[in-house]
Amino acid sequence: MAMPYRECLAVLAAQRRDELVVTSAGNSSELWHGITGDTERTFYLEASMSMASLFAAGLAEGIPEAQVWAFSGDGAFCMNPGMLMVERDMDLPNLKHFLLSNRAYGSTSNVPLPGRAQNDYAAIARGFGIERVWSFETLGGLEQGFDEAVRSPGHGVIVLELEPVTGKHGSPPMDGPEVKFRFGRYIERTYNRTIFSAPV
């Protein structure tokens, strides 16, 4: 079974409190912006494949008082599954890694992913030594298990089985530097960090 992509993200958006979010290329960035309209607490890392979760780890490591969510598409994840080795070693209690599995390269016309029928992402995560791994295939299951998977402390990987997205959705209407400054200014004033005004 698989969940409708947009509806699944809508569940996450409804449950979200003040978490920082790092999205991945394509669908997750486009749909998350479409649902939330967020331009401050989300870093839309559209220009990346496989780097969203460690980008989020850099945030989570430096801002331990923040909760950080990372979205990885399974196409991106399969390009660099060893990211989980690093996440396991860092073991950041404030980082949750959502693996959005639609078994396709969703941002490139849903070209099928190799191994799409067999890939077991939860097993891969456990194989890298990650203990807190959840997998959800239904919206009801996600809503029921959300608190245990996401609210409880500890680094975790949450696999979300999703349907491929049909149709094209627009990118967040911001160039890269605007994404950086909006997000960074929010970090500066919310978490009292010095980012852009640090002396050089």
Partner 1 sequence: MNAPPAQAAPAQADRAASRYSPEVAAAIAEECAQAGIELVASLPDDWIAPTIAAFDGDPRFRHVPVNREESAIGLCSGAFLAGTGAMALMGASGLMTLVYAITKINYTYEIPVFILITQRGSLDDVAKFHVSNGLYLDQVMRSIDLPNVTIDSRNRLPLIGEAYAHSRKISRPTVAILSKKLLLGLA
Instruction: For helices 27-36 and 5-15, give the axis angle rounded to 10 degrees.
Output: 50
Pick 20 or 159: Cβ nearer partner 1: 20
168-187 residues in contact with partner 1 (CB under 8 A) are 176-177, 179-180, 183-184, 187
At its nearest, how many Å lie between partner 1 and the CB of residue 177? 5
Q: How far apart are CA 99 and CA 161, in angstroms?
A: 8
Phi, psi angles (nearest 5°) of residue 73: -70, 155
Residue from 82, 115, 127, 140 that binds partner 1 (CB under 8 A)? 82
For residue 98 the two structure tokens come to: 């959502």
**Contact status: 92 vs partner 1 (CB under 8 A):** no
Cα–Cα distance list, 139 to 2, 82, 95, 152 (Å): 9, 28, 22, 19
Q: Cβ neighbours of residue 92 under 8 Å, at least 6 residues apart? A: 57, 60, 61, 64, 68, 155
- Point out which span in 85-93, 118-126, 138-146, 150-158 binds partner 1 (CB under 8 A): 85-93
Pick 57 or 165: Cβ nearer partner 1: 57
**Contact status: 167 vs partner 1 (CB under 8 A):** no
Pick 81 or 156: Cβ nearer partner 1: 81
14-73 residues in contact with partner 1 (CB under 8 A) are 22, 43, 45, 47-63
Residue from 4, 14, 37, 85 that binds partner 1 (CB under 8 A)? 85
**Contact status: 194 vs partner 1 (CB under 8 A):** yes
For residue 184 the two structure tokens come to: 């960074």
